[in-house]
Amino acid sequence: MRKTIRWGIGAVGLVVVGAFAATALEADPEGPPVGACARIEGTAKAPRYLALDCSSDRATVKVAKVVEEGGECPTGGAPYSTYVGPATLCLIPNFVVGGCYRQDRKTGLRKVDCTTAGSIRVAKASKDPVNCGDDRTLSYPEPAVTFCLSRPA
């Protein structure tokens, strides 16, 4: 029987990311632009937003879409992490193919060495529909991206 992959975009990650977005929007009413990457540090009650280049191993989230007040993130795929304020930020993980990740209480998700217990590995990422086989599929409709996640070998 195939084991279900459990990984780091859980409730803790969503709370921390949501709190991050609140902090980011307080600093800039329009919020960060689509494609901006960051690392969230601290706690859900006192998050710290650290804007980073998307190529940084420390950048764990990416702004996928910014929708107007009262708008909602796209549906039909994996749920986005969101924050609703003057605008709604729709956030996705900033996964790198071949990289391994694990849930983290302080950052929601962090890049780790692939030998780390409980980690998941990003086997594939595609803008087109892809069959992940036995790997877990994580798809977002906008921007269209599918990640195939597996346990590290």
- Radius of gyration over every alpha carbon of the chain, rounded to an integer in angstroms: 15
Answer yes or no: are the C-beta atoms of 91 and 108 closer than 8 Å.
no
Which position has the token pair 């977005």? 21
Which strand (E) or helix (H) includes residue 126? strand 120-126
Global pTM value: 0.74
Secondary structure class of 12 (helix, strand, coil): helix
In this predicted structure, what is the pLDDT of residue 84?
Answer: 58
In this predicted structure, what is the pLDDT of residue 71?
Answer: 82
In this predicted structure, what is the pLDDT of residue 61?
Answer: 86
Strand 144-150 vs strand 120-126: parallel, antiparallel, or unpaired?
A: antiparallel
Overall size of the chain counted in residues: 153
In this predicted structure, what is the pLDDT of residue 45?
Answer: 65
pLDDT tens over the chain, length 153 residues: 333 333 334 333 333 344 444 444 444 556 689 999 977 776 666 666 678 999 998 898 898 998 887 788 999 889 987 665 566 778 899 999 999 999 887 777 889 999 999 999 999 999 998 999 999 999 999 999 999 999 987
